[in-house]
Amino acid sequence: MTGLLLLLFSLSACAAFVQRVSGFGFGIFIMMFLPYIMPSYNEAVALSGLLSGTTALFIVIRNIRHVRWDKMLLVVLSNAVVSYVAIIYMRSLDSMFMRRLLGVLLVTVALYFLFFESRMHLSFRSRWSRGAVGSVSGVMGSMFGMPGPPVVLYGVSEIEDKKEYMATMQAFWLVFNMIYLFFRSGGGYYTSDTPLLWGVGVAGILLGVYIGALCFNALSRDGFKKVVYTVMLASGMVALFK
């Protein structure tokens, strides 16, 4: 158990660092490992959501004046509706199937960001497009513990200011994970070990957020994101073929 707790501390610190520097990626990073060290896939997703929401909360508290609330409403509403359906359906899915599907998703998203992000300009001005962002994010957040990629595309396209982008992304993750916490609360996703695991994860988060904040202004966001996408691609391949 001690080894698991130390590993969880380290993973949480690294994931929080990634999120504090790039604005997203906590779930993407930690879900490379949690499904293989937790008793079940559902418990891994649930713990990832709790820790991701906690990370977002810490960052939002420090940057709340920069949040663009006007960019969030439709995305949040559509995410909530789709998340409810996805969380119910997820209970009947096979754990190995979910890991394979997660691998396909990670590889696809990583390849897009690595090779096509700079060559395409996406517009999310219409209500339908924002609803689609929230819906896809809801599926990914509910089933894989990482609602980020579609919302990141939206945020990068619609929010120019670096601080506003960071603060608004964290507000998204905070709201999303509060929604997931509510939907999962009666579904057996949390166990008697969850409080202890969450507490250890929070200790790691505090360290990761602190170091990440120091690096945020010094590192190029685009350059760091490419590192994250490369790791994402590698993790997807591991999930597919392990």
Q: CA dihedral in degrees (25, 242, 42, 51; nearest 10)? A: -30
* Domain boundaries, position 26: 2-241
Residue 176 is predicted with a pLDDT of 83
Residue 89: φ, ψ to 5°? -70, -30
Mean pLDDT, range 107-114, rounded to an integer: 80
State how far the Cα of 204 lies from the Cα of 173, in Å rounded to an integer.
18
pLDDT of residue 197 exceeding 70, the answer is yes
Residue 94 is predicted with a pLDDT of 60
pLDDT digits (tens, 9 = 90+) for 113-145: 777 766 656 666 778 888 899 888 888 777 766
Given a contact cutoff of 8 angstroms between Cβ atoms, the answer to whether 83 and 136 are in contact is no
State how far the Cα of 31 lies from the Cα of 46, in Å rounded to an integer.
11
Residue 181 is predicted with a pLDDT of 81
Q: What is the mean pLDDT of the chain?
A: 82
State how far the Cα of 170 lies from the Cα of 48, in Å rounded to an integer.
15
Residue 16 is predicted with a pLDDT of 94
Nearest to 75 by CA among 123, 146, 135, 164: 135
**pLDDT confidence of 10, banded at 50, 70, 90?**
very high
Residue 64 is predicted with a pLDDT of 92
Using CA atoms, how far residue 209 sits from 19, 128, 234, in Å, is: 8, 34, 24
State how far the Cα of 215 lies from the Cα of 210, in Å rounded to an integer.
9
pLDDT digits (tens, 9 = 90+) for 50-65: 999 999 999 999 899 9
**pLDDT confidence of 90, banded at 50, 70, 90?**
low
pLDDT digits (tens, 9 = 90+) for 20-45: 887 888 887 888 888 888 888 878 88
What's the chain's length in residues?
Answer: 242
Nearest to 13 by CA among 194, 144, 167, 203: 203
State how far the Cα of 175 lies from the Cα of 79, in Å rounded to an integer.
10
Greater model confidence, 104 or 221:
104
pLDDT of residue 225 exceeding 90, the answer is no
Total of domains in the chain: 1
Mean pLDDT, range 178-184, rounded to an integer: 79
Using CA atoms, how far residue 56 sits from 26, 40, 41, 90, in Å, is: 9, 25, 22, 25
